[in-house]
Structure 1
Amino acid sequence: MNIATVILVYVIAWWMVFFCMLPVGIRSQTEANAHEAEGVDPGAPVNPNLKKKILITTFLALVLTVAYYFLATSDLITFRAPRS
């Protein structure tokens, strides 16, 4: 497995985990009763915690990539035809 494949797997895993993390812990303006400015959408998040979510996403994507690498390079699972 070359480095380009590992990087591609990491990038795809990062974006998938990031999109899964986005709705976690979100409270809208109406749920928090925090109508701060005129013209703000009532469904807009009060505090999206993007820095925290980016750090968690980076760690989880790294774990998934390492797991994929070891699974792909080991002979635990193979899609090749058995040799006879």
Structure 2
Amino acid sequence: MSWGSIAAIYLLIWTVTLFTVLPFGVRTSDEAGEDKVKGQADSAPTRPMLAKKLLWTTLVSAVIMAGVWWIGEAGYLDFMPD
């Protein structure tokens, strides 16, 4: 598997994982018991914790990519059929 393929597959895995991780731990102002800012959407999170979610996304994606790479190197997944 070439480095370009690894990067492209990792980017796809990272993006899907990010959208999976984003809703974890989200609390709205109503749920947190805080006052809303004028013009704020009802569903807006009080603390989105993006840095923590980006770190978790990167770690989980690296583990998944390692699994995909191992499966490809073991011959179970053929990216370039003969």
TM-score between the two structures when normalised by the length of structure 1 = 0.85
Kept in 2, the 8 Å contact 1:28–1:43? The answer is: yes
Unaligned runs of 5+ in 2: none
Number of residues of Structure 1 aligned to a counterpart in Structure 2: 78
Unaligned runs of 5+ in 1: 80-84
Q: What CA RMSD, in Å, does the superposition of the two structures yield over aligned residues?
A: 1.3
Kept in 2, the 8 Å contact 1:35–1:42? The answer is: no
Aligned structure 1 segments of 4 or more residues deviating by more than 3 angstroms: none
TM-score between the two structures when normalised by the length of structure 2 = 0.87
Larger-Rg structure: 1
Q: Aligned runs of 1:3-82 on 2, under 5 Å?
A: 3-75=3-75, 77-78=76-77
Q: Measured at CA, do residues 52 and 78 of structure 1 come closer, stay the same or move farther in structure 2, by a change above 3 Å? A: closer
Amino acid at match of 1:58: T
